Structure 1
Amino acid sequence: MKKYLLSVLFLLFVLVPFRAANKTDLSNELESALKLRNQYSLRKEARIDSLKRLLYPSMDDNERFRLYNAIYEEYYTYRFDSAMLYVDKEEQVAMTLSHPAYRNLSIIHRSVLLSTSGYFSESIQNLEQIDSRTLNDATRIEYYAAYEWAYSMWAEYSNDKVYAPRYYEKEMLYQDSLISVLPTGSSLYNYWKGENLYRHQRYAEAEKYYQKALEGVPVNVRLYAMVTYGLALVYSKLGDWNEYEHYLIKAAISDQVCPLKENLALQELALHIFKNRNGEVSRANRYLNYSMEDAQFYNNRLRMLEIAKKFPSIVLSYQEQNLIKSRRLQWSLICISILSIGLVVSLIYIYRQMHQLHKRRKILADMNRELQHLNKALVNTNHTREEYVSLFMDLCAAYIDKLNKYQDLVKRKVKAKQTDDLLKLVNATKLSDTDAKEFFVNFDTAFLNLYPKFIEEFNALLREGEEIIPKRGEILNTELRIFALIRMGIQDSSRIATLLFYSPQTIYNHRSVVKNKAKMRDSFEKQVEELCAVM
């Protein structure tokens, strides 16, 4: 007895943590499936589109009916309106072919959709058109399943003591008929046998048949969702709430993966979490929102009504939880605010001290930068002065050399008594082209070294398209030289004419032409004087 007790305790210590870990893994798997729900829907729609692309106008009507049937099978737990559209198409083909078997199948499909959307009497009336004696085995299964579904939904919707028992009795009658035509031992047979035993409150036996039905069925098949949901209901009746939640989560995962928009597991799971997990109201609210999204997408008014009844209590609890959190947050904020005020006062004092120190450092840094800038400017200025003193000396030396040569020439002419030639030389008023060119090159080079951005800033004063650009081989042209001299403070046209070897009228004309190109003609020359303020 002692050994038996120790064994039981050992199993409890080992299996309970394992089960808890397994439930956590399963919950994480559900969260992953919910994150991927849009991708699963896109995959489903791609599969439907691939079936639709097989349709073409001239195809055989029998093949067309089979494709319509396949598309209906994809839609009937996914989108109500689209499923009904393809039932209409099935019926049209059946009428065209006068094919009783096709017509019966389309009636059964319409009945299933009518039951799902709450049109129970219309569903039954549709099924009553069928002579069950003419049905083949496969269609007979769908026929009994459609009746069972109609009365099951009607009983659930009625939920009273007068009509619901009658519908329930009819449901059980057609459920028995359905089981009788299913292949014994098949997954569907085991599922419906489990459903039947569950209805008769034989839960332990029902659990065995459900487990058999689940063997070998993949999670992305609707039967998997149906069986796991059935198992969850069985375990709720047996009082095993861990297993109940376990199989509800499995059913909810299958609903997302298939995907099935006509589903129950997620909203049942939301209610279970709401009632049993005080700290997970937001999770329950999120699951119920997903369920409402699915019901709206499928366009199932019954499911929407059902979820709407469950919403208020969860939403109210969710709001109350948020209110409690909000109040806690308010008190926390008050405490933090008081502490913050003290901290702010301290920081202000520290900041002022730091600010004074920063200002002193900044002033010192600015003075150092200014000193460095001035030193650099002084070095540049000295360097520039040295260059132009050197240039000036070169020019003086060149012109002294020319003067000496000119003086020697005069002496030779006087000695040779060539007074006429000497008179012609003295009367010459212009320098030679070579001398003028050399003078301009020296002037242009010196000026642009002093004011390197002169041409760029000068053209900025002119209208667009009127810019003055030196030709290839030129440094400055006549117009630029005139305004270069104005920039240097020489305003008088006569002085400019003398320096550039032109007549005053020519200089005046050039000035007028350029001024007419200026953006601001009246103040143009004043603006030129202010160009290149920084060397």
Structure 2
Amino acid sequence: MVRLLMLFIVLVLTTVCSARQLSNQQLYQTLDSLIEQYNQLTADKERRVAIIKDGVKGLKLTPEQQYDLNQRLYDEYVAYKFDSAFYYIDKNVKALSGSSDHDRFAASAVRMAHILAVTGLFDRARRLLDKVNPDSISDQQKIAYYTQQSELNLYRSEMALATKYFYDYIKRAQYYRQLVMQIAPKDSYDYIFNQATYICEAGDTDQGIRILEDYLRKTDLGTRTYSIITSTLAFFYQKKGIPQQQEYYLLLSAINDERSAIRENNSLRSLSEVLMARGNNDDAYRYLLQAISEAKFYGSRIRMMQVGRMAPQILQLYDAERTQTQQRTNLLLFVISFISLVLAGIIIYTLILYRKKHAAGLQIIEMNKMLASHSAEIENVNTQMKEANRIKEEYIGRFLELSSLLISDGEQRLKQLNRLARERKLEELYAELKTMEPVNKGIRKFHSHFDTAFLNIYPNFICEVNRLLNSESQFAVEVDGTPVKHLSTELRVLALIRLDITDNQKIADILRSSITTIYTYRSKLKAKAINKETFEDDVRRIATYR
């Protein structure tokens, strides 16, 4: 059944590319369907790789056969799982180190440099490429070598965004693109892609778009090349300020990534940015969570950093919505409290009037009439008190009704689920049950409460941490003149260390992160410290100042 569905999706996407008959809304439905099959698609990918491995079990391979096998497994893992791709290509690099076979060493070194660059290990990638002598390798390997040099400089430019080094890296990437175009066949992907990106960077975005759109018609679906071209076209349309076309190509790229189990991707994150800019925060958050999940699965620090930059923006929007809801609730409570105070004042004033009337009657009525009048007044007061009690009951009833309305929202969801189950709409029921929004909301509340409680106890914590760090690595204490009220992930790690929780696994469990991510954060923070040896001990000595 799954294979038939996948075949149907391929046919639909083929129609999209040739005639563009599907709307963006239909593409979103296709993308959501593929995301729901995430586990199945991952399992299919694992089975394909297992078939390759099982095919050589028990066989004694020659060095050349082992080289080819490692190369093939690397190609399977390169966009799927970082550590596995690194493992197999590292075997070839080590086996060919010092070898006279310059072409094969260059092929392995370029692949290793790519996988290192993808995960952010730029210096190691550069040092490995420096070992390749382009004058001693074939034109085919030169193309791969220059392409990787260009890619490495693009990654470094992204990390140097908004710094004076950004354009230096862009210029070097342009230089290597020119070298590729000098030796690559003019009808090859390497020539056409580098030509389009070079022209676009030089200022002629329209020509770059025409070149890639013409080549896209000849590109097979399901390939990484298809994902790269559509993602690049989305970037070109973003530069031109045409968000509709940008969104269209991001959808094609993301669909191809999900269908092909490509976990090293950027389209879902970019798509969530488009949706967030349009005000569709729920879908933006959903796609961002999927992008985070895939980046963690692959192990790419660059992609994690990219999605990490967006998370605070979406959380800020959710906080703004929550604040607005809280303000409306506070206003309603204020109105109810005001009405209650007015009613209490009326009751008190009524009692005062009746007391005055009773006092005046005592002065003009005879004793026996006074006793009767007194009884009548008591009865009258009791009647008024009963009326007051009815008024209280009415307002209590209204308050309970209001509370009931709030509770009914939860009941409506239960009824909806029961209805779906009763009508056997299992796919819709599964979609409703599968949603992680309640869990995610709990995580956000946990982070918010943790941040607020911690900063109440340690109000000067961020300032004290900054005193332990180099000046260029310090955290912001204020945003637009307002003190920071929420901690970043790095500061939460330090906060837990301040609370004497130092085990990486415990910190990862509390922050719902991976132990590798926590280890990376701690290593980076220690590297930024003035005194690296005593940094975490210094953090644990930060006082409350209360």
Distance 1:86 1:123 in 2: 16
How far has the Cα of 1:240 moved from its partner? 1.7
Aligned residue for 2:42? 41
Q: 315-324 or 298-307, which moves further after superposition? A: 315-324
Q: Which amino acid aligns with 1:34?
A: I
Instruction: After superposition, give the CA deviation of every residue in 1:174-230 in whole Å (9 maximum; x if it has no partner).
Output: 111122232212344322221111111211101111112201323311111111111
**1:284 aligned to 2:344?**
no
For 1:324-335, what aligned pairs fall within 5 Å after superposition? 324=324
Instruction: After superposition, give the CA deviation of every residue in 1:363-401 in whole Å (9 maximum; x if it has no partner).
Output: xxxxxxxxxxxxxxxxxxxxxxxxxxxxxxxxxxxxxxx
Q: Secondary structure at the match of 2:199?
A: helix
Whether the 8 Å contact between 2:110 and 2:145 is mirrored in structure 1 is: yes
Unpaired segments ≥5 residues, structure 1: 1-17, 345-535
Aligned residue for 1:298? 298
Aligned residue for 1:320? 320
Instruction: After superposition, give the CA deviation of every residue in 1:250-308 in whole Å (9 maximum; x if it has no partner).
Output: 111112112222211111110111111x2x21110111111111111111112212211
Whether the 8 Å contact between 1:187 and 1:212 is mirrored in structure 2 is: no
Aligned residue for 1:63? 65
Q: Which amino acid aligns with 1:314?
A: I
Q: 316-325 or 68-77, which moves further after superposition? A: 316-325
Aligned residue for 1:263? 265
Instruction: After superposition, give the CA deviation of every residue in 1:449-497 in whole Å (9 maximum; x if it has no partner).
Output: xxxxxxxxxxxxxxxxxxxxxxxxxxxxxxxxxxxxxxxxxxxxxxxxx
Distance 2:44 2:286 in 1: 24
For 1:317-396, what aligned pairs fall within 5 Å after superposition? 317-322=317-322, 324=324, 338=398
Aligned residue for 2:111? 109
Whether the 8 Å contact between 1:87 and 1:110 is mirrored in structure 2 is: yes
Whether the 8 Å contact between 2:102 and 2:137 is mirrored in structure 1 is: no
Aligned residue for 2:214? 212
**1:307 aligned to 2:367?**
no
With over 3 angstroms needed to count, the CA separation of the structure-2 counterparts of 1:263 and 1:98, relative to structure 1, is: same
Distance 2:179 2:330 in 1: 64
Instruction: After superposition, give the CA deviation of every residue in 1:101-121 in whole Å (9 maximum; x if it has no partner).
Output: 322222112211221222223
Q: 230-239 or 327-336, which moves further after superposition? A: 327-336
With over 3 angstroms needed to count, the CA separation of the structure-2 counterparts of 1:179 and 1:257, relative to structure 1, is: farther
Paired residues, what number? 324
Distance 2:206 2:243 in 1: 15
Q: Secondary structure at the match of 2:131?
A: coil
Q: 261-270 or 46-55, which moves further after superposition? A: 46-55
Q: Calculate percent identity across the aligned residue pairs.
A: 23
How far has the Cα of 1:139 moved from its partner? 1.8
Whether the 8 Å contact between 1:219 and 1:257 is mirrored in structure 2 is: no
Q: Which amino acid aligns with 1:309?
A: R
Q: Secondary structure at the match of 1:263?
A: coil
Distance 1:188 1:25 in 2: 32
Q: Which amino acid aligns with 2:398?
A: I
Q: Secondary structure at the match of 1:252?
A: helix
Q: Which amino acid aligns with 1:250?
A: L
Distance 1:19 1:337 in 2: 58
With over 3 angstroms needed to count, the CA separation of the structure-2 counterparts of 1:67 and 1:205, relative to structure 1, is: same
With over 3 angstroms needed to count, the CA separation of the structure-2 counterparts of 1:189 and 1:178, relative to structure 1, is: same
Q: Secondary structure at the match of 2:116?
A: helix
The structure having more radius of gyration, on CA atoms, is: 1
Distance 1:154 1:52 in 2: 35
With over 3 angstroms needed to count, the CA separation of the structure-2 counterparts of 1:19 and 1:88, relative to structure 1, is: closer
Q: Secondary structure at the match of 1:109?
A: helix
Aligned residue for 2:466? none
For 1:465-480, what aligned pairs fall within 5 Å after superposition? none
Distance 2:220 2:172 in 1: 32
Aligned-CA RMSD value: 3.0
How far has the Cα of 1:21 moved from its partner? 6.5
Q: 333-342 or 314-323, which moves further after superposition? A: 333-342
Distance 1:141 1:254 in 2: 26
With over 3 angstroms needed to count, the CA separation of the structure-2 counterparts of 1:305 and 1:239, relative to structure 1, is: closer
Whether the 8 Å contact between 1:187 and 1:214 is mirrored in structure 2 is: no
**1:254 aligned to 2:314?**
no
How far has the Cα of 1:339 moved from its partner? 9.4
Q: How does the TM-score come out when normalised to structure 1?
A: 0.56
**1:156 aligned to 2:158?**
yes
How far has the Cα of 1:67 moved from its partner? 1.1
Whether the 8 Å contact between 1:217 and 1:223 is mirrored in structure 2 is: yes
Q: How does the TM-score come out when normalised to structure 2?
A: 0.55
Q: Which amino acid aligns with 2:40?
A: Q
Whether the 8 Å contact between 1:114 and 1:123 is mirrored in structure 2 is: yes
How far has the Cα of 1:99 moved from its partner? 3.5
How far has the Cα of 1:247 moved from its partner? 0.9
Whether the 8 Å contact between 1:91 and 1:102 is mirrored in structure 2 is: no
Q: Which amino acid aligns with 1:287?
A: Y
For 1:493-512, what aligned pairs fall within 5 Å after superposition? none
Distance 1:31 1:330 in 2: 38
Q: Which amino acid aligns with 1:294?
A: E
With over 3 angstroms needed to count, the CA separation of the structure-2 counterparts of 1:91 and 1:161, relative to structure 1, is: closer
Whether the 8 Å contact between 1:55 and 1:64 is mirrored in structure 2 is: no
Distance 2:332 2:34 in 1: 37
Q: Secondary structure at the match of 2:23?
A: helix
Q: 226-235 or 116-125, which moves further after superposition? A: 116-125
Whether the 8 Å contact between 1:151 and 1:167 is mirrored in structure 2 is: yes
Q: Which amino acid aligns with 1:338?
A: R
Q: Which amino acid aligns with 2:307?
A: I
Q: Which amino acid aligns with 1:25?
A: Q
Q: Secondary structure at the match of 2:261?
A: coil
Whether the 8 Å contact between 1:175 and 1:196 is mirrored in structure 2 is: yes
